[in-house]
Structure 1
């Protein structure tokens, strides 16, 4: 029984079972994919809440979250060059730890990608409504937010968010070339708007607003408040900003020369996004005193522009926010479908999710299934309280991938690696420590919801996945092989 739960796939088995998706993604496309996933909600929404939590030291919080993701990103890059197939952390765990752990991580990633796309669609709807109001167009308030999400206002359905998710789903379904071009164009526009904001507003920075730089220290509780304040709690909040770079590794089977391009795309996107985040937060907290962010916590960038008097810039930045959130949803839904595609191919999900359309060379049915599910969730469900669930699911995946690099270096030191994470074992150990620190900053309610999701996943695995796994058709490896990370010869279907 234990051997079946820990049965592994070899790299050869994973690559041999890959189906012919189109290989068109290059380093530039992967970097744009990573930036598209990272830069969005973090700059346009979370900077307000983060400034109230850490003050001007929010820039350090972003750096702390980036360092955590950087260490984990190096581990992802090594695995991506070693196991160049769709599935990201799910596939890596299948090679390193076995089927049960792989399923659990895949189940976590479904939570991460789908839930983040749904939550971002709610934020996208808010910015879209503001943009329309600027032209004198007002949608019925009942159709501008999920049921009960707007205090004092009767709302039933988030129509704009529902529609934008369906449009993104269509782009994903018609082919990777269309997805790549759409994402590249939107990310370039978004970066141009962010740089324009920096260039136009940096002259309004008042260094006096940076004092005190860290009013709440590293970690503290304010009198009368149950929520922690300081650099680390703010880092736990803005960590959400960096979620998505791991989706780059999901594109392995659609990438040209993945051994080299995947690591580059992951690392480049993290570095560029971190520099922009730090620059933006320093400028914003230099223009507006950090307590004043309470007046516009939901739209902090707009509040900063109002303080400068550059009203003409507001429309452009609102457009940038829309584009930024659109690329986040596009990459999250892309990663979602590729994870389920990989799990279906291995027999852990029904074949429906792994069928590749002959015309578009994409998992058409699975893409539309999860696209509709995410659109409905964003349209109907009040998911504000579930933001932290995305974080805990992602941090758990980061820990498993980092531990996997340690384990594979020990059990398969001579395996081919197109990229080797520097500083092993220190790098993956630091990634695990940083992730554990950020997890510790989450609430107990988040842990309860995570355990419930985990329990549902175990029911799916033992009720369906274990019996339908493709590994059921091969001879069981010896216990010594399981412990060493070696598997049987690749299956020939």
Structure 2
């Protein structure tokens, strides 16, 4: 741990508690409210608010574990670095490989939702893009599409902002998050007057967990929590900013926990209002734009343009944080020798991992532009839940093996807190379908091939061990 913490960083320290909180809120509030609430309402009914609370409790327990690690080892890499510290290189590589998929898939998936809202905003002004350029091939069976042009362009713009400096990134994010929060508060203040308590009956039509006749998709509070868990993904990216944070031992835990708390309250209030205005069965008509559907039911058409703008800003901040976290994890893995040096190159002027940022930005832009990734979004959930399990288990292990290590923040209630985090994560994983498990296993297998075929031979740790062994052999021969 001393070696890890003592390493100097070429990255620029400018982030404070407010910036980190905005970073977390920027990552959390976006797709969950503006896209997933429709599918969530159909899965759990008005009890969707309980599903959000369940997902938030799971993230809360895991967030406490992240906060302790972030205060103990304030380095880039998030769960990858924490796994490296607790369990060593192999487990760390697997989690890093897992997080790369998580961040890339989420950013690409959100770019598709962003494109949908952007097209609606253009239509409000009487403008229309060619249909063929509004979505990836096969996204809509009723319309022939080939390329998601708006999603492609916004990912490139975000990549450019990320590549030119952390100051530009945090200012852009702070402004967008404040605008997004203002629009959400405006929606709540306007829509609450249209709530009909009768729409909340029955509150939990599918119970905790059930299967409907003729359906392979589970229904109820737990399956809906497994879906909307996607909404909370991103707070872990806050911890990846450790080497760009001022006084990270204190500011990182505060940023993680504050962003989770604010986002949870807003999610619960929003879902109660939405299911109170529109009967949960009717969200089948508004599955792609549930908030717009609520506005349509209230007749407040003037609010539609504002909310569409809020959705665009909300999803922009989600993509920004995901691409930011991905570049920092790859930077940390490259520094440890598990990835090529290309990803660890820091630009002399901008002091950002410039090449790695553009590599994954372009990859994500083309993936979101050409491939229908919506069917893979549950892979993001299982990947993140796996990372949460490893980080929580790491706290248990570190408390046992290094009980006296300096900790700027100590997760309360250990060992109960990390154990509950692990249990909740397994409960949410159980709510995912079997295809997600198969896809995750394939990605996991590819990661092991990369590790044993490339990373293990070139890792800093492996080279140190080899040098030590060679020294021993030389001494023995002498």
TM-score range, shorter chain: over 0.9
Question: Which residue does the alignment assign to 2:241?
Answer: 251
The equivalent residue for 2:33 is 43
Q: Does 1:458 align with 2:461?
A: no
- Residues in 2 aligned to 1:362 and 1:314: alpha-carbon distance in whole angstroms: 38
Aligned match for 2:307, one of 317, 325, 328: 317
Aligned pair partner of 1:280 in 270, 279, 284: 270
SS at match of 1:421: coil
- Quote the offset at 1:322 in angstroms: 0.2
Alignment partner of 1:73 is 2:74: no
Task: Find the counterpart in structure 2 of residue 303 from structure 1.
Answer: 293
* Residue matched to 2:472: none
Q: Does 1:142 align with 2:114?
A: no
Answer whether contact 2:457 2:463 (CA < 8 A) is retained: no
Determine the C-alpha separation between the residues in 2 that align with 1:321 and 1:390.
21
Alpha-carbon distance in 1 for matches of 2:466, 2:365: 42
For the 8 Å contact 1:64–1:235, the answer to whether it is kept is yes
Deviations, residues 134-189 of structure 1 (Å, cap 9, x unaligned): 11111111111111111122111111100000000000000000000000000000
**Aligned match of 1:357 in 336, 340, 347?**
347
Establish whether residue 220 from structure 1 lines up as the match of residue 210 from structure 2. Answer: yes
Are 1:148 and 1:382, in contact at CA under 8 Å, matched by a contact in 2? Answer: yes
Post-superposition shift, 1:206? 1.0
Q: Is the CA contact 1:73–1:246 (under 8 Å) kept in the aligned structure 2?
A: yes
Displacement of 1:15 in angstroms is: 2.4
- 164, 174, 182: which one pairs with 1:184? 174
- Corresponding residue number in structure 1 for 2:474: none
1:161 corresponds in structure 2 to 151
CA deviation after TM superposition for structure 1 residue 238, in Å: 0.4
Structure 1: 5+ residue stretches without partners: 1-10, 479-493
Question: 8 Å contact 1:18–1:253 — kept in the other structure?
Answer: no
Contact 1:352 1:365 in 2 (8 A): yes
Q: Which residue of 2 aligns with 1:105?
A: 95
Q: How does 1:252-267 map to 2 (within 5 A)?
A: 252-267=242-257
1:223 Cα deviation (Å)?
2.1
What runs of 5+ residues in structure 2 fail to find an aligned partner?
469-478
Give the Cα separation in 2 of the matches to 1:476 and 1:195.
Answer: 58
> How far apart are 1:354 and its partner, in Å?
0.2
Answer yes or no: is 1:53 the counterpart of 2:63.
no
C-alpha displacement of 1:474: 2.8
TM-score, normalised on structure 2?
0.97
1:405 aligned to 2:395?
Answer: yes
TM-score (norm 1): 0.94
> Aligned Cα RMSD in Å?
1.2
The alpha-carbon distance between structure 1 residues 351 and 199, as it changes in their structure 2 partners (threshold 3 A), is same
What is the CA distance between 1:20 and its match in structure 2? 2.0
Residue 436 of structure 1, CA deviation: 0.2
